[in-house]
Chains A and B, each alone.
Chain A
């Protein structure tokens, strides 16, 4: 009995020591990773400020990120606009016996929140994952080392074009998503709720200002920054073969999604405080 108790105490002490060691290692690793991400992003921005941007590579990335993302952005925003109009029409019909302010609610919801956030989520899943997987695969197959030996800085060659392309294309995709979503809402409002299109547009244009548009547009720049910084950092930090690439890609998408949703609140708070709404 005494021996059993001693064994339990020894096991418990080992577990506490192990847990403490694991926690301190995790904290070091967490802050180390943030520092490294900041350093890489800083280096990328420095290359951009120096004007060391390959036009050919940047345009090719813009086509990949913008043009090839357009079909999925079209589908998601169009149906989001449609479902918003359907739900808002139904709710207001229940409350006021007729669907009112559908255009205004669809417009505000899309332009302020759903347009920028949904577009960023889709781009994080499609482009963020692709960036991490591509750079990560290059890392584990020594292609990044090969770039160094051929006199090329991997951050300048790989991160800079992707960074510039993402920062330019995400706001553009967001603006398109807003317009497409509003048209999706229009179709449902006119066909399902028999509201004339003039009333729908009047709802939107009477209540929305340029500030409303800029509120979402400004947020999309920050979301692009988050997606591409996380994706490149995770790619450059990949280790451990195919399994490592998989883990880095999953981690990249998850971190981007969480950061987009968390930062959305704080960005919105700041923009509202500044009167951009």
Chain B
């Protein structure tokens, strides 16, 4: 289980996250939604240990990764896969080497087993005959899927997705959503996904949480999200330019013009 307790993060004088609380049970998929700049990706990076929080605690299977030793942090990292927004595949390595990277650094598997595991993972994400290609030779959707293959290769217990469908066409978005559901179904992976894409969020989520100005303002099932009276959530899920979120931006000034 992942438990985030009173998590706050501040960059200089700017508070990005304010006392965020979150619990993700084993086997569950939680989707974090929110407008750009509300701290969604920062929250994921805190959970995976890429950023140290200003205050608060993050428990991964009972271990507080914000205060643990580097060995314990390393053990926690072994349990987590991270799918980056732009895939973040290593340019200088082939797709096979990219997917095998975590297997070589985080496991003691033999070379034959690594090759088999890589082939299996690429097959799971629907990529064939790309082992020897470099990331620059793949399309955006293929890169995302290769990124997912790299994240699942060492069979982590948790996967964190940072905007897994951003920049993809609607069909490829659905393919990625199906892939996330399939991973939960077949590998029993617990997931936290950050997205702006409500169609994908409704499809993959067990629970949806909304961040607004660094705070959690909503936490509920997809059904509860659809029916909520919370004006901020309604505006975001409906994708409307008018509403409480609008007043925080520059629209008022635009109206004056």
Contacts and interface: CB of A to CB of B under 8 A. Distances in A.
Contacts of A148: 48-50, 77
A149 B82 contact: yes
A73 B241 CA distance: 61
Interface string B36-53: 000000000100111000
A150 B88 contact: no
A146 B105 contact: no
B218 interface: no
B114 interface: no
A141 B92 CA distance: 13
A151 interface: yes
B88 A151 contact: no
A146 B84 contact: yes
Interface string B71-84: 00010011011101
A98 interface: no
Contacts of A146: 82, 84, 88-90
Contacts of A142: 84-86, 88
A143 interface: yes
B106 A145 contact: no
> Which bucket holds chain A's interface residue count?
10 to 19
Contacts of A145: 45, 50, 82, 84, 88
Contacts of B128: none
Interface string B139-158: 00000000000100000000
Nearest to A137: B91
Given A141-B88, A143-B91, A150 B50 contact: no
**Could you tell me the dominant secondary structure of chain B's interface residues?**
mixed
A255 B9 CA distance: 34
A153 to B, nearest CB: 10
A152 interface: yes
A150 B105 contact: yes
Interface in A198-244: none
A63 to B, nearest CB: 14
Interface in A107-151: 134, 137-138, 141-143, 145-146, 148-151
Contacts of A151: 74, 77-78, 102, 105-106
A134 B101 CA distance: 19
B167 to A, nearest CB: 14
A85 to B, nearest CB: 43
A143 B86 CA distance: 10
B80 A141 contact: no
B247 to A, nearest CB: 30
A141 B50 contact: no
Interface in B55-85: 74, 77-78, 80-82, 84-85
Given A138-B90, A152-B105, 13 more contacts: A134-B92, A137-B91, A141-B88, A141-B91, A143-B88, A143-B90, A145-B45, A146-B88, A148-B48, A149-B80, A151-B77, A151-B102, A152-B101
Interface of A: 134, 137-138, 141-143, 145-146, 148-152
5 contacts: A138-B90, A138-B91, A145-B84, A146-B88, A152-B105
